Amino acid sequence: MPRKPDKDKAYLTVHDGVWRVSMGVPRELREQLGSRLVRSTGTKALGEAKLARDLIVPQFKKRIEDAWTARGGKRNSLLALTLETRRLMETADDNLADFMIQGAQERYEEILNDGATWVDEHTPDGIIQRRVPKPEAVKLVSEIRRVAAGDTPIAHYHQAFVDGLKIKPRSKLDEPRALSILLDWLEANDIEPFIENINKRNAIRFLDWLDADTNLSWASKAKYFGRIKFYWAWLTRREHAKENPFHDLNIDKPETKREDDEREYTDEEVQRLLMGTPMEGDRMKDVMMIAALTGARLDAVIDLKVANLFDGYFTFKPQKKERGKREIPIHPDIEEIVARRIANKAPEDDLFPEWPGPPSTSVKPRSSYFSKRYTKYTTVLGVRDEEPGRRRSKVNFHSWRRWFITKLEQARVREPLIQAIVGHSRKGMTLGLYSGGPEFEEAREAIALVKLPPLDGSPIVEKRSLTPRRRS
């Protein structure tokens, strides 16, 4: 028999010991708001969490209602019906148009009368009763009249825009996030969420607010603003908007020093990571070793199949802007790992079955769970390089790739060969377009030059780079 929900804890869940408020989002709005609205109460005490919940839930409900408004209303809602009526009016004869206009006026009156109060008003002709509609009724009628007159909710075409994008499903998640940021700003500034309200002045105001008054990193600000700009370009091309007021606006990248960039691991950090004892044991260490000695990205390593190892080399799936698969010789130091992991397995079997992917309905990459566990491991070891206000550590799993490239360069491997090994675009027309690539045996010899630091705890003397690292 199913357990009855505890009404006392409605909308409350526990995450890492702290209560948070969680509310499901209607399916039609998930591309706009995500599958759930979640906010931490910041407390472990149930009583305090309930008080916070009672404040947060109305905010969530309003956000969902605003999202419906921006989209054009729920199916069969007043806004949705008004949009349909407007479409029919375009081809209606005079009699039908008059009938539809009269019906709309009657509906406006019904909305304004619902819940209204009546007060006596003294006039030269005597006392008359004046209607005082509810504020939300006045707002709704105002929105409906604007839609009927030709204005269009900002999110009305958004799903069609997203459906037409030729990008990965995970990247599409940025579209509703960007739209939500814009809609929240419009709500906070009492600007109705219609395409026609986004003029140059409001576009600049939104840009200035996003750049100066949010806690997002520059990369996130630029990404979300770029998605809004691209949506408006799409609206303009299809004549849903008269102009794109965002087209010449950008969020300037702040000047940064070299030492502020993400970096490779030092040999001492590599030693600590490979000598450490992660809770996952070889399940995690094997992934680190392959990344360290191939320069492959995390997704490419986690997704390996047994069939991707053949005749002494890996075949990695394309990543980022790579045009095709990438074949990398197996480094001598990971031959034992490879032999152990392919033993008694079929070609279609996963090389890392311990790291399964998310549900088929999820757009998260298969590596997402590993990434969380790896972050926890590096935090426990103290192999982090974090600064206040920075979204992530300057050393992370991608630092294995940087370390591998650094070691190839320090071993005096030619730059075109390094680019071919790690899948970077090769410079110039000659190598980039006409060359079939370097000889495979040369790549094998180059990779063998990459040496791990001693894994017995011996002291390490870091090689001095021409570009010095920041001193702590």
Whose CA is closest to 464, among 402, 384, 410, 408? 410
pLDDT recorded at residue 84: 72
From first CA to last CA, the distance across the chain in angstroms is 60
- What pLDDT was estimated at residue 431? 40
Structure tokens at 472: 């702590």
Cα(439)–Cα(421) distance, rounded to whole angstroms?
Answer: 11
Give the domains, in start order, of the chain with CATH numbers.
Answer: 7-71 (no CATH), 156-255 (1.10.150.130), 265-448 (1.10.443.10)
CA dist 291 and 398 (Å) reads: 9
Alpha-carbon span 364 to 399, nearest angstrom? 21
Helix, strand, coil content of the chain in percent (nearest 5):
50, 10, 40
pLDDT at site 472: 41
Q: How many CA atoms lie within 13 A of 68 on its CB side?
A: 17
**C-alpha distances in Å from residue 294, one per residue of 10, 304, 443:** 50, 13, 11
What does the pLDDT read at residue 259? 56
In one letter, which amino acid is 8?
D
Q: What is the pLDDT of residue 471?
A: 43
Contact by Cβ (8 Å): 462, 268: yes
Sole residue written with tokens 């010095």: 468
Give the distance, in angstroms, between the CA of residue 414 and the centroid of all CA atoms in the same chain: 37
Q: Angle at Cα 316 formed by Cα 313 and Cα 318, nearest 5°?
A: 145
Q: What is the pLDDT of residues 428-453, one digit of tens each?
A: 434 444 445 557 788 899 999 999 99
Q: Answer for the pair 373, 284: CB distance below 8 angstroms, yes or no.
A: yes
At residue 157, φ and ψ (nearest 5 deg) are -100, 5
Helices marked H in 91-215 — which ranges?
Answer: 94-113, 135-149, 158-163, 169-172, 174-188, 200-212
38 forms beta bridges with 22
Q: Which two tokens stand for residue 428?
A: 């110039």
What kind and span of H or E run contains 332? none
Spans of the chain, pLDDT less than 70? 1-6, 31-32, 69-79, 97, 100, 256-260, 320-324, 360-363, 389, 425-438, 467-472
Contacts for 301 with CB less than 8 Å, ≥ 6 apart: 287, 290, 291, 294, 316, 352, 367
Residue 240 has phi, psi (to 5 degrees) of: -85, -20
- Picking from 439, 245, 426, 218, the residue whose alpha carbon sits closest to that of residue 321 is 426
Contact criterion met (CB below 8 Å) for 404 and 433: no
CA angle 197, 202, 204 (to 5 degrees): 150
SS (H, E, C) 188-236: HCCCCCEHHHCCHHHHHHHHHHHHHCCCCCHHHHHHHHHHHHHHHHHHH
Is residue 108 within 8 Å of residue 144, measured between CB atoms? yes
Q: Select from 369, 356, 376 the least CA-distant residue to 279.
A: 376
Task: Give, in order, the Cα–Cα distances in Å from 282 to each of 211, 277, 352.
Answer: 44, 9, 11
Nearest to 285 by CA among 247, 337, 326, 245: 337
Q: Given the structure tokens 């840009």, which residue do they identify?
A: 207
Are the C-beta atoms of 302 and 370 separated by less than 8 Å? yes
Its pTM stands at: 0.63
pLDDT for res 163: 87
Phi/psi at 17 (5° precision): 85, -5
